[in-house]
Structure 1
């Protein structure tokens, strides 16, 4: 193959991609079969199969068991707003994660005592196996799953205190900053790291996608000075959402 020339499967995928973009193959239309692609483009079965795989990997088409491969309806991504500002006295866990005041949502949470794995322990400055309170959240908008969040708080800080359980007690749902202030810990900085990875099966079920679909992961850690008081992983669909930051300039 001459230098710079595309492999045959990419040329076929490019042509089919253009047909999808131009509406020749509209949403929910059936993609030509492997045999049809082979005959139309004069390529081998292997090339036809690889071209279809490219379109599936790009999220443009999806396979339906026993039926064929169909063009997916395009999704206009929504924004998950992140901000350096926080409203004092904010009572909603949803507001702690989604900072667009126009968006309402519901959530459910479950807390349980666990031992910190190596990754969580490193983020919290603990020894692996130390006790943490792990809280899992599911956030929904318009009764659709929006994002998942799992947080970990060191029980060496919160055990036997009124804020040991984030969603129970006198400060239930009041957020990390306010809850920690109640035990004389002043949270004054937060770190966030944004990444992406294939979604796990249980995440896909919760978020309405399929296993392996790309998810955005925001790893967040709240600190009082250098002391980590909470760390969390926030997970959302990379297809449905973009993360938008609004940060103050000092």
Structure 2
């Protein structure tokens, strides 16, 4: 986008999406109407309206006779890219209002596909962390993260199941190892997961991310989201 050019509807949508995900716009908060957005951003009414419609379809917003509001129970969650950006800004991958409960943290011999990703020899161990993320009483994500075994020596929290030590663990790894995540890749597929307290066979969205640098993978995480949850991405073609 040229310097000084009005933002596109995707830029507007991303701005308000981030406001919802960060908690700056809590459930029930009223958004500016399209005319107000036009004045604030210098865009056409059609651009502002399209941005709001986009977020309504994604489940972030609801509209009514009194205006546009953040959904009372927005069934949305942050993408891996957004969580990594939050690690850089805030030192935490949890969004505002999210909590996590660690259900396992141990050194294990990994399945073959994980060993291959980390270029391990047969029998080598790796750190496995399993945890559930929630917002209020709702479970919003179940995840398993894998890390090189040598990270345990410089970041003992990787083998700690205290929930307070889960938040910020990625930032502590980077600080302790002196490494910087320079590459990220996400893969998505469908499966089912009892850890989200869903009925057997209920469909879910599964997400895998790999965060790495030129030395190899720093964190490999497999996570899954409950039925009807939305994860949004922005990208430049």
Distance of aligned partners of 1:107 and 1:243 in 2 relative to their CA distance in 1, 3 Å threshold? same
Aligned residue pairs, count: 160
* TM-score relative to the length of structure 2: 0.58
CA–CA distance in 2 between the matches of 1:128 and 1:175?
27
1:208 CA drift (Å): 2.5
CA–CA distance in 1 between the matches of 2:187 and 2:178?
27
Distance of aligned partners of 1:163 and 1:245 in 2 relative to their CA distance in 1, 3 Å threshold? farther
* TM-score relative to the length of structure 1: 0.55
Distance of aligned partners of 1:181 and 1:211 in 2 relative to their CA distance in 1, 3 Å threshold? same
Deviations 1:142-177 (A, max 9, x none): 21111101001111x3142235626579x8632425
Q: Greater CA radius of gyration, 1 or 2?
A: 1
Asked whether 1:219 is paired with 2:208, we answer yes
Give the CA RMSD over aligned residues. Answer: 2.9
CA–CA distance in 1 between the matches of 2:98 and 2:151?
28
Give the equivalent residue in structure 2 for 1:107. Answer: 100
After superposition, residues 121-136 of structure 1 pair within 5 angstroms as 121-136=115-130
Asked whether 1:246 is paired with 2:230, we answer no
Judge conservation of contact 1:222–1:229 (CA < 8 Å) in 2. yes
CA–CA distance in 2 between the matches of 1:83 and 1:210?
26
CA–CA distance in 2 between the matches of 1:246 and 1:175?
26
Q: Which runs of 5+ in 2 are unaligned?
A: 1-72
Judge conservation of contact 1:81–1:246 (CA < 8 Å) in 2. no
Asked whether 1:80 is paired with 2:73, we answer no
CA–CA distance in 2 between the matches of 1:164 and 1:105?
19
Distance of aligned partners of 1:207 and 1:83 in 2 relative to their CA distance in 1, 3 Å threshold? closer
Distance of aligned partners of 1:246 and 1:167 in 2 relative to their CA distance in 1, 3 Å threshold? farther
Picking from 201, 216, 229, the partner of 2:218 is: 229
Give the equivalent residue in structure 2 for 1:94. Answer: 94
CA–CA distance in 2 between the matches of 1:177 and 1:141?
22
